[in-house]
Amino acid sequence: MAGGSIRRSSASASAPDSPAAAPRPPRGARLRARATQWELILVYLLVVVFVGNSFLSPYFLDAPNLLDSTFNFMEKAIMALPMMMVIIGGDIDISVASNLALASVFMGMASTAGAPTPILILIGLVSGSIMGAFNGFLITRFAIPSIAVTIGTLSLYRGIASVILGDKAYTSYPKSFAYLGQGYLPGTHIPFELLLFVLLAALAGFVLHRTVFGRRVYALGNNPTTARFSGVRVDRLRLIAFTLNGLAAGVASVLLTARVGSTRPNIATGWELDVITTVVLGGVAITGGKGSIWGVILAVFLLGFVQFGMALVNIPGQVMNIVTGFILIIAIMVPELIKRGRNRASLARLSARTETAARS
Amino acid sequence: MTGLLKRRETSLFIITVIVIAAVALRARDFLAPGNFEDILKDSSILLIVSIGQLLVILTGGIDLSVASVIGFTGMSVALLDRAVPTVPLLVILLLALLIGLALGSFNGMLVALFNIPPIITTLGTLSIYRGFVIVLSGGTWVSADQMSAPFRDFPQGYLLGISNMISIAILVSLIFAAFFYLTRTGREVYGVGGSPLAAQYVGINVKRINFLVFALSGTLSGLAGYLWVAFYASAANDSATGLELQTVAACVIGGVNIMGGSGTIVGVLLGSIFLGIVKNALTMIRISPFWQVAIQGFVILLAIVVNTALDRRAQASMLKRRVL
C-alpha cells in the first residue's frame, strides 16, 4: 500500500464504498452499519484541523510537507496499535514511554560498543518485548491490576535508564541506522516510518477484526469471567497483549532513536499520555470490550495534526499538553453524556408508554 | 483482618530499622540527630500528599495529578508573594488550600459526575495543571531572594522545639486519623473502596465520597505546594514532577491495598519515612542519586506483589475457617 493513500484509507469510515475498505459489497454494508457516529465525528474534526492548519501555514497542504509532518507522530502511532488491544482487553499500560527509553539506552550501549544496525534493531525489539512481557508476567502471575504494575515499571524502567546513563547521552549511531527514523522510500517522498505504520495498522486491524485472537480480546474486555468460562485462556491472552505492547515500544524506540540520533534519560517522557489519548480518542472504551482500528487510525492523524498545528504557531510542548489532556478527558466525557442522554430518552419513552397502557 | 494489618505495619517497621542499621554501619553520620530531623522534614511533604493519595486509593481510585497540583499552587503563591510581599502568611496558606481544593474538585467532578476512570482523569489533569504552571509563570521561576522573609522562613521555623514542617505533617496526620476513625464519612471511604456496589446498597452516597476524596487530595497537595516552594526556596516550572509516583509508593509500601478498601495512616506514615530514609541513605553511602527512581520502582513492585500475596493468604485462611 502506498503511503499516499493514507488519507484516503483513513477517510474510508465515512466512504465505505471506497475500494480499500470494501472489496465485497456485503462487507461494505456491514461496514457502513459499523462506521459509528464517533468515527464520522473524527472525520469531520480531521477536516476542520486540515482547514485550520492550512490557514496557519500556506505550506501545510503541500504533499511533501504533509508527509514530512507525519515524522512527528508515527512512533506514538505505532505504540497506539497494541495499546488499543491492551485497552480493549480491559487493561492499561502506562509504562510504555519508560520502556521505550530503556530500550533506547540498550541500543545506545550496543552502538557505542560498535554493534551494526541489524543488531541494534534486534536489541531494541527484543528488550522492548521482554519489558512488555515482564509487565504481563507480573499482572497475570500475581493477579495484580495492570495500573499498579505499570506504575511500578514506569518508575523502574525509566530509573534503570537514568542509572545507566547518569548525566551522559549516547549520540553515536551508525549512518544506516538513521535511515529508519529519517529515511524515505527510495525515489519517493514517503517516510519509512509512515509506511511501517500503515503496514502495522493493517496487520493490527486484521488481527483484531478478522481473527479468533481478536474476537477473544473483545470477549476478554467485555467480561473476563465469561471469557474464561468460554474457554479463553485469559492470562495467556493478556500476557501476549502486553508483550506486543512492549514490542511496539521497542519498534518506536528504534524509530525515535534513529530519528533524533541520540539517547537521553528523558527521551519520550510523558508519551504515555499521547498514546492513551490517541486510543481513547479513537473511540476505544476505556473500560474495555469496544473499539475499532479505523477510529484509532483517524485519531492518530487527528491528534498528530492538531499537535503539528500548535507547533506551527510555536506553542511550547508542555502547553500543548494542556490541549492533549483536555482532548483525553472530553473524548471520554462525550460518549458518556450521549449514552446518558439516550438512556434518559428511552426511559422517558418507556414511562410514557406505560402511562398510556395504564390509562387504556 | 486488623491483626494482619498490624503485622504488616510491624514488619515494615522492622525492615525500616534494619535499613537504618545497615546504612549506619556504612556511614556514622546517618544516625546523627540533625540528619534524622532532616529526613523527617524531607518526608513531611511526601507524607502530607500521600495522605491525600491514601484517601483516593482507599476508594479504589488513583490521583496522578498531585505533583502538578503542587507545581501549580506553589507557583501561584510564589508569584503572588513576589508581586505583593506584604500579603500575610495566613492568607498565602489559605489561598494554597483553596487553589488545591479547586483543582482537586475538578478531578472529583470528572470522576464522580462524568464517570471518567480516575487514572484517565488524573493522567489528563497531570498534563493540564502542569501546562498551566508554564502559562502562569511564562517559563520563568521565582528564586529565594525574590520571596518575602516570612514566606521563605516559615518551613525553617520551630515551635516548641519542633520544626514547623514536622508539626504540620503531624497535625495533618492527626486530623485525618480522626476523620477515618471517628467520622461516619471516614468509614464510608473504606466502604466505597471495599465494594462500591455494596456501599451503594447500604445507602452510602458513592458519588459524594468519590468527589470528596479528590477534593481533599487536591487540598492537601495545595498545602504541600506552598510548603514545597518555601522549603526548597524556589518555585520552578518542574517542581515536584514525579512526586505522584512517590506517593503511590509510600502508600503501597505502607500496606495500602492498591485496589482500595484497606490501608491506614500509620502505614502511609511508615511508607513515607521509609522512602525518605532510602533517599537520604543513598546520598550518605555515596550511591548515585540516579538510583533513586529505579529503587523506587522496584520497591513499588515488590510491595504490591507482597501485599497481594498476603491478601490472598488471608482470604484463603478466612475461607478455611468458614469451612471448619
pLDDT of B256 higher than 50: yes
CB atoms within 10 A of CB B260: 21
**Nearest Cα residue in chain B from A334:** B114
Query: Min CA distance, A152 vs chain B (Å)?
Result: 5
pLDDT, position B50: 95
pLDDT, position A153: 93
A92 compared with B151, residue with greater pLDDT: A92
B116, A333: Cβ pair inside 8 Å? Answer: yes
pLDDT band at B322 (very low <50, low <70, confident <90, very high): low
The three cell numbers locating residue B324:
471448619
pLDDT, position A5: 37
**Nearest Cα residue in chain A from B124:** A325
pLDDT > 70: percent of chain B: 97
B131, A319: Cβ pair inside 8 Å? Answer: yes
pLDDT of B120 higher than 50: yes
pLDDT > 90: percent of chain B: 30
Record the pTM: 0.84
Within a 13 Å sphere around the CA of B153, how many CA atoms are in the beta-carbon half? Answer: 7
pLDDT of B247 higher than 70: yes
Taking the C-alpha atoms of residue A62 and residue A334, their distance in angstroms, rounded to an integer, is: 33
CA distances from A325 to A317, A335, B34 (A): 12, 17, 43
pLDDT, position B2: 52
The three cell numbers locating residue A195:
509506511
Query: Min CA distance, A70 vs chain B (Å)?
Result: 23
pLDDT, position A18: 44
Residues in chain B: 324
Query: Min CA distance, A150 vs chain B (Å)?
Result: 9
Q: Is residue A267 helix, strand or coil?
A: coil
Q: Is B117 left (phi over 0), alpha (psi -120 to 50) or beta?
A: beta
Within a 13 Å sphere around the CA of A92, how many CA atoms are in the beta-carbon half? Answer: 24
Per-residue model confidence as pLDDT tens digits over B11-67: 777 877 887 888 778 777 777 777 888 888 889 999 999 999 999 999 988 999 999
The residue-averaged pLDDT of B86-108 equals 93
- Among A254-263, B42-51, B97-106, B237-246, which stretch is predicted with the lowest mean pLDDT? B237-246
pLDDT of B212 higher than 90: yes
A71 compared with B299, residue with greater pLDDT: A71
Q: Which helix (H) or strand (E) holds A315?
A: none
CA dihedral (B271, B274, B279, B280) positive or negative: positive
The size of the A-B interface in CB pairs under 8 A is 140
Taking the C-alpha atoms of residue A329 and residue A288, their distance in angstroms, rounded to an integer, is: 16
Phi, psi values for residue B235, rounded to 5°: -115, 100
Q: Is residue B134 helix, strand or coil?
A: helix
CA A215 to chain centre: 19
A333 compared with B284, residue with greater pLDDT: A333
CA distances from A79 to A117, A147, A204, A308, B321 (A): 22, 17, 11, 18, 48
A332, B116: Cβ pair inside 8 Å? Answer: yes
Taking the alpha carbons at both ends of chain B, their separation in whole angstroms is 18
CB atoms within 10 A of CB A203: 12
CA A28 to chain centre: 25
Start-end of H helices in A57-112: 63-69, 74-88, 96-112
Of A155, A270, A325, the CB nearest to B128: A325
Which residues in chain A show pLDDT less than 70?
1-36, 360
pLDDT, position B193: 82
Taking the C-alpha atoms of residue A132 and residue A200, their distance in angstroms, rounded to an integer, is: 18
Taking the C-alpha atoms of residue B71 and residue B304, their distance in angstroms, rounded to an integer, is: 28
Interface test with B, best of A94, A151, A287, A321 (most B CBs within 10 A): A151
B147 compared with A112, residue with greater pLDDT: A112
pLDDT, position A211: 93
Taking the alpha carbons at both ends of chain A, their separation in whole angstroms is 63
Taking the C-alpha atoms of residue A293 and residue A289, their distance in angstroms, rounded to an integer, is: 13
**Nearest Cα residue in chain A from B130:** A318
How much is the CA Rg of chain B, to the nearest whole Å?
Answer: 20
Comparing CA positions, the residue from A150, A98, A91, A143 lying closest to residue A284 is: A91
pLDDT band at B276 (very low <50, low <70, confident <90, very high): confident
pLDDT band at B313 (very low <50, low <70, confident <90, very high): confident
pLDDT of B259 higher than 60: yes
Query: Do A123 and A181 contact (CB within 8 A), yes or no?
Result: no
- Chain A residues 144-203 with CB within 8 Å of chain B: 144-145, 147-149, 151-160, 162-163, 165-166
**Nearest Cα residue in chain B from A95:** B297
Interface test with B, best of A102, A147, A275 (most B CBs within 10 A): A147
Q: Which helix (H) or strand (E) holds A291?
A: none
Q: Does A270 touch chain B (CB under 8 A)?
A: yes
pLDDT, position B275: 86
